[in-house]
Amino acid sequence: MVKQAVIIAGGLGTRLRPITFWLPKCLAFVNGKPFIYYLITQLQRSGIKEVLILTGYKGDLVESYIKSLKVRIKINCLRTDENFET
């Protein structure tokens, strides 16, 4: 059974502007919560025990949000340069 997952959350989110001038796209609100919240809770429900989030653009905001979450899975963030290519 898979126990680890990766969330790629480093893009600029240019198609979501002007929202992404202030927030990375994974923190854009959907139905009252940041989009990444839904990803993390779904992974948790699926039995994932550890998540690595690859950040770039405004990665400090993603890391701050992740630290505020109360979840039962281990989450690590790895920040790359904003201009890093996939």
Residue 68 pLDDT more than 90? yes
Cα 44 to Cα 60: distance, rounded to the nearest angstrom: 23
The rounded percent of the chain whose pLDDT value lies above 70 is: 95
* pLDDT at position 85: 64
The rounded percent of the chain whose pLDDT value lies above 90 is: 78
In this prediction the pTM is 0.87
Tell me the CA distances in angstroms from 39 to 71, 83, 84, one per residue in order. 12, 24, 23
At 84, is the pLDDT very low, low, confident or very high (cuts 50, 70, 90)?
Answer: low
- Residues 26-67 have pLDDT tens digits of 999 999 999 999 999 999 999 999 999 999 999 999 999 999
> CB within 8 A of 34, min separation 6: which ones?
26, 27, 28, 65
